[in-house]
Amino acid sequence: LIIPDPQLLKMKVTALATLALLSSAAAFAPAAVPRVPTALSATATETKAFTKLPASVKPGVVTGQALVDLLDAAKEQGYAIPGVNVVGSNSINACMEAAMKYGGPIMVTFSKGGGQFIAGKALSNDADEASIAGTIAAAKHVREVAALYGVPVVLHTDHCQKAWLPWIDGLLAASEEHFAQTGEPLFSSHMLDLSEEPLEENIAICKEYLEKFAKVGILLEFELGVTG
């Protein structure tokens, strides 16, 4: 009669229990799935998909007739230009880096609140001074570095309702100053959203601003109806 060592027996039981636990856990573990390249990952390895740009469109900020040529080319060739609302140099640079890697052009878009955030939320904005200063500062940042990324950049501002028109007035003044020095505006285009106003008043105000914008080569986008 062989009596096993109690300590050895305990070790064997523990080992068997552990194996059983691991086996049961493995039974419920998901099977390994072979990694299949997605369309996104496959595209990232392909040649950059730069569009065929008009001769007037160069790396850097695009304004005036060159912007008209770019928009016409996009319509004719059937592609969209991404417009990204930015809130600082980090998001601005990310937009231009993406355009550089995957194909330009890109539209860097500022909102009134985004401009205020860029200037600093601690500043007073009672007369839109922070929104104006922040948006202008960001536009100047783009103008300093856009050409280095080698892509065309459209400097645009997003929805501006009637109460926010002083913000646009401040940006227009900066573009007029820039135009006097360089022959082109600081910004490429602005959007007025007066869709909450009566249609006649909406069009009348947009006409007034269009006449001002045209003098320095700024394009106008405007909303006619309520969108949401």
**Which residues are the active-site residues?**
158
3-state SS, the chain, equals CCCCCHHHHHHHHHHHHHHHHHHHHHHHCCCCCCCCCCHHHHHHCCCCCCCCCCCCCCCEECCHHHHHHHHHHHHHHCCCCCEEECCCHHHHHHHHHHHHHHCCCEEEEECHHHHHHHHCCCCCCCCCHHHHHHHHHHHHHHHHHHHHHCCEEEEEECCCCHHHHHHHHHHHHHHHHHHHHHCCCCCCEEEEECCCCCHHHHHHHHHHHHHHHHCCCCEEEEECCCCC
Q: Distance (Å, rounded) from C-alpha 19 to C-alpha 168? A: 72
